[in-house]
Amino acid sequence: MSKVKTKFICSNCGFESIKWQGRCPECESWNTFSEEIVESEKEKNRSAIRRSNYTVSKLKEINSVESDRIKTNITEFDRVLGGGLMPGSIVLIGGDPGIGKSTLVMQAASLIREKVLYVTGEESGRQIKLRASRLNVDSENFYVLAETEMENIVCAMEDIQPGVIIIDSIQTMHKGDLDNAPGTVTQIRECTSQLMKIAKTTQQVVILIGHVTKEGMIAGPKILEHVVDTVLQFEGERHHSYRILRAQKNRFGSTNEIGIFDMHDTGLSEVKNPSEIFLSEREKRTTGSAVTSSMEGTRPILLEVQALVTPSNYGNPQRVATGFDFRRLSILLAVLEKRAGLRLSAANVFLNMAGGVKIDEPAVDLAVCCSIASSLLERNVDSSYVMVGEVGLGGEIRSISNIEKRIQEAEKLGFSNIIIPRNNMRSVGSRTDIKVIPVDNLTNAINAVLL
């Protein structure tokens, strides 16, 4: 009898160790090591079989056209993918439990013109059918397989020859020739690499659904994210009905694009005009609220920045930022204090990007500063203004990108004034519906917008 070798593998980053450790030396997470079999007799035999036929091609001679992409026919989904599913690629979709991953892929599957094989390891065929009836999904090309064993899935793929295979979820799949339980690092890695080999040789598209851990990372090792071509994150606030699909990694498209959906009982519907949603609950007559425009990929989105400044009775004032970088907030507070003369050092500052969005673009700096100033001084921001601009450490307003698009969006939503950095004026055409006001420093901008 050969001895079965085991190793301890970190379920977060895939770090391997011969003995158990409480804390992973690689990713520093606690209690993530689990014992896994790495080399059984079966595996040894497997590794003895080597592939020796390969083809080297000249780059010039490889044919590829952009129109090859398989459209999901959900515009928002296609946009995030960079124009559709690339044949031979693997897409990983991660998201919190119940956020709507299965719903999204099912709706896409029914609209894709190719054959789709939906493999579910979590639900039975009947449950899938129930969901399909609720979503009004009915397609000739939609095949369902309730299975967790990779061998069977591969056989079904060969029989049906689908253009797209959906695996819901990768954590439930397992290969019979490995002795590890489903969901372990080895199983996830092996199942994914088998699917990847098939995808690359047959040009089928594989969509994997992945669970996320408590911290919001895709469960299983980081390696999974390296192997796949595209990593999409499906996120949303539990208490809001809209969901955001974001690309974290995309070998075939921009990672800045987002897709916005609205969740109903009949499924997800696309949000064509996100600015309207983000501004729909705006209270125009409160202090500390300013509207700005942020670029999400190629689209400008108008959103509301909210600030609340209160006196701090204790020595240590609190600063809380939701949806905005905390360090950036600290910098802007320092600039406001020093360059605009606002006394903020003894004040609690709470900042919120309304609607649960996360923004990491410098163009929203100006709106952040104006909303803080508004709350501190108890003066409203004029609700007909949109403001964009990066704030420099000297209190100057620096130029930003895509100014024309941002102005157009503000104009479209009926705003009558927009404040922009003076250096951007060169690239702005003449306007009739919206007044474009250039500013060069923070104090002037604050004076212009506060009533």
Ligand X SMILES: Nc1ncnc2c1ncn2[C@@H]1O[C@H](COP(=O)(O)OP(=O)(O)OP(=O)(O)O)[C@@H](O)[C@H]1O
State the Cα–Cα distance between residues 312 and 301, nearest whole angstrom: 34
Residue 414 as a binder of ligand X (CB under 6 A): the answer is: no
Q: Which of 97, 315, 414, 429 binds ligand X (CB under 6 A)?
A: 97
Q: Which of 2, 54, 62, 98 binds ligand X (CB under 6 A)?
A: 98
Per the DSSP assignment, residues forming a β-bridge with 250 are 230
Residue 101 as a binder of ligand X (CB under 6 A): the answer is: yes
Q: Which of 84, 95, 221, 355 binds ligand X (CB under 6 A)?
A: 95
Residue 355 as a binder of ligand X (CB under 6 A): the answer is: no
Contact track, Mg ion, 77-116, x by CB under 5 A = -------------------------x--------------
Q: Which residue lies nearer to Mg ion by CB, 231 or 418?
A: 231
CB 302 within 8 A of CB 387: no
Strand 258-264 vs strand 319-322: parallel, antiparallel, or unpaired? unpaired
CB 323 within 8 A of CB 356: yes
Q: Which of 265, 281, 327, 343 binds ligand X (CB under 6 A)?
A: 265
CA distances (Å), origin 411, targets 187, 286, 416, 418: 53, 23, 7, 9
Query: From the CB of 449, what's the least distance to ligand X, in Å?
Result: 39
Residue whose token pair is 């004034």: 417
Residue 119 as a binder of ligand X (CB under 6 A): the answer is: no
Query: From the CB of 377, what's the least distance to ligand X, in Å?
Result: 42
State the Cα–Cα distance between residues 221 and 11, nearest whole angstrom: 6
Strand 347-353 vs strand 319-322: parallel, antiparallel, or unpaired? parallel
State the Cα–Cα distance between residues 425 and 441, nearest whole angstrom: 14
Residue 100 interacting partner from ligand X, Mg ion, none (CB closer than 5 to 8 Å by kind): ligand X
Interface region with ligand X, contact rule CB under 6 A, candidates 99-107, 138-146, 195-203, 301-309: 99-107
Cα 287–Cα 336–Cα 326 angle in degrees, nearest 5: 85
Residue 341 interacting partner from Mg ion, ligand X, none (CB closer than 5 to 8 Å by kind): none
> In the sheet where 299-311 sits, what is the strand order?
319-322, 347-353, 299-311, 289-296, 385-387, 417-421, 435-439
Q: Which residue lies nearer to Mg ion by CB, 143 or 252?
A: 143
Residue 22 interacting partner from Mg ion, ligand X, none (CB closer than 5 to 8 Å by kind): none
The HSE-up count of residue 57 (CA atoms within 13 Å, CB side) is 5
Cβ atoms within 10 Å of 251's Cβ, excluding its own: 12
Residue 217 interacting partner from ligand X, Mg ion, none (CB closer than 5 to 8 Å by kind): none
Amino acid at 345: S
Q: Which residue lies nearer to ligand X by CB, 10 or 209?
A: 209
Residue 223 as a binder of ligand X (CB under 6 A): the answer is: no
Query: From the CB of 120, what's the least distance to ligand X, in Å?
Result: 9
Residue 341 as a binder of ligand X (CB under 6 A): the answer is: no
Selection from 260, 270, 264 nearest residue 241 by Cα: 264
Residue 263 as a binder of ligand X (CB under 6 A): the answer is: yes
Selection from 448, 432, 438, 437 nearest residue 370 by Cα: 448
Count of residues near ligand X by CB under 6 A: 12
Query: From the CB of 291, what's the least distance to ligand X, in Å?
Result: 29
Interface region with ligand X, contact rule CB under 6 A, candidates 66-74, 97-105, 248-256, 343-351: 97-105
Query: From the CB of 168, what's the least distance to Mg ion, in Å?
Result: 6
DSSP string, 406-428: HHHHHHHTT--EEEEEGGGGGG-
Residue 238 as a binder of ligand X (CB under 6 A): the answer is: no
Residue 99 interacting partner from ligand X, Mg ion, none (CB closer than 5 to 8 Å by kind): ligand X
Residue 120 as a binder of Mg ion (CB under 5 A): the answer is: no
Q: Which residue lies nearer to ligand X by CB, 262 or 390?
A: 262
Q: Which residue lies nearer to ligand X by CB, 105 or 150?
A: 105
Q: Which residue lies nearer to Mg ion by CB, 102 or 186?
A: 102
Selection from 149, 67, 78 nearest residue 107 by Cα: 78
DSSP string, 380-406: PBPTTEEE--EEPTTSBEEP-S-HHHH
Residue 22 as a binder of ligand X (CB under 6 A): the answer is: no
CA distances (Å), origin 304, targets 19, 216, 315, 383: 52, 25, 30, 11
187-218 residues labelled b (16+ CB within 10 A) or e (exposed) = bbbbbbebbbebbeebebbbbbbbbbeeeebb
Residue whose C-beta lies closest to Mg ion: 102
Residue 210 as a binder of ligand X (CB under 6 A): the answer is: no
Query: From the CB of 394, what's the least distance to ligand X, in Å?
Result: 47
Q: Which residues of the chain form contacts with Mg ion (CB under 5 A)? A: 102
Residues in touch with ligand X (CB under 6 A)? 95, 97-103, 122, 134, 263, 265
